[in-house]
Amino acid sequence: MAATLGTLAALVHGDLRGDPTRVISGHAGIDGAGAGDITFAGDERWRAKLAASKAGAAVLASPVPGFAGAMILTAEPQLAFARIVQHLVAAAKPPAGVHPSAVVAAGAIIAADAHIGPLVSVGEGAEIGPGTVVHAGAVVGVGVRIGRDSVIHARVVLEHDVVLGERVTIHAGTVIGSDGFGYATDKQGRHVKVPQTGTVIIEDDVEIGSCVCVDRARFDATRIRRGTKIDNLVQIAHNVEVGEDCLLVALVGIAGSTKLGDRVVLGGHVGVGGHITIAAGAQVAAYSGITADLEGNARYLGLPAIPLADGLRVRVVQKRLPELFRRVSALERRFGAEEVP
């Protein structure tokens, strides 16, 4: 939706240099922006291009000479631009009510202003809070509770007794509350399923991408705490606890009973073993493997994951391995393998 520059500047507590009544109706990159768009420049590379841009306004850390548009100045232009774009693209909620094709159990409780889309299934005893939207084909299982203003996208499956807080967003194709992977093996090598009788609790302001699996706990609860953001194609096993404001990037896999502190960041393809503790503020680079507890407020790299500085030194040595192998082979030929110091 359109907004005046005055409104947008106030939204991000920015210093506006320009006409506060000018209306902005869209957003775009510096190269493609037009007179009705707002853009941003977060570093010198883009600031250098801004003078030639046709954008009507830009979000910046400091003024750019030669730029003809209005400027909103803020210490964190990327963050401010994100909030402005959220405001501009905010979509109207679908109308309240239950679609005729939805199947809703008699004992389910649905807030009057919630939206239940086509072919949704809502189980017995489920509760769906005010302002929540459940899109087409989603399954809300028996006893599930969803807080207010949440968004459940198409074909999401919420298994029985899962609990979602307020303003939770779950994207298409994700499954919350599937059985944890637990088996006991008998003397004949046959695997006997261990019942997974716990649940999953997802706290307020969590966003979960598409095709994510969060398994229910064996006993108590698998828990995703407030504000955490999870990318597509992530696996979270039974009894895992993820702290507040964590970031889990695509293809992360976390084995059972592992605990992540607040603000932990796991890069793409990171694998985490079971029964491990990762303390608050730890950051782990992509393609790393975590096999032991990690201390907080530090960065890690590698398989197994080690402190970043050590991991970088290891990678330098790895690049030299072919050369070192040739040198050792030459020494063996010259002196004999048993005599090489």
| Measured distance CA(330)–CA(334) in Å, rounded | 6
Which of 11-27 are b and which e, b meaning 16 or more Cβ less than 10 Å from the residue's Cβ?
A: ebebebbbeeebebebb
284 is written with which tokens? 């782990």
Residues 6+ apart with CB under 8 A from 136: 117, 118, 119, 120, 154, 155
Annotated catalytic residue within 27, 115, 171, 238: 238
Q: Residue 119 — left, alpha, or beta (φ > 0 → left; ψ -120 to 50 → alpha)?
A: left
**160 given a catalytic annotation:** no
| Measured distance CA(21)–CA(263) in Å, rounded | 39
| Closest CA relative to residue 122, chosen from 151, 145, 149, 150 | 145
Q: 251 φ, ψ to 5°?
A: 70, 20
Residues 6+ apart with CB under 8 A from 37: 24, 25, 26, 27, 28, 55, 56, 57
The residue type found at 68 is A
The residue type found at 86 is Q
Tokens 């976390």 identify what position? 254
- Residues involved in catalysis: 238
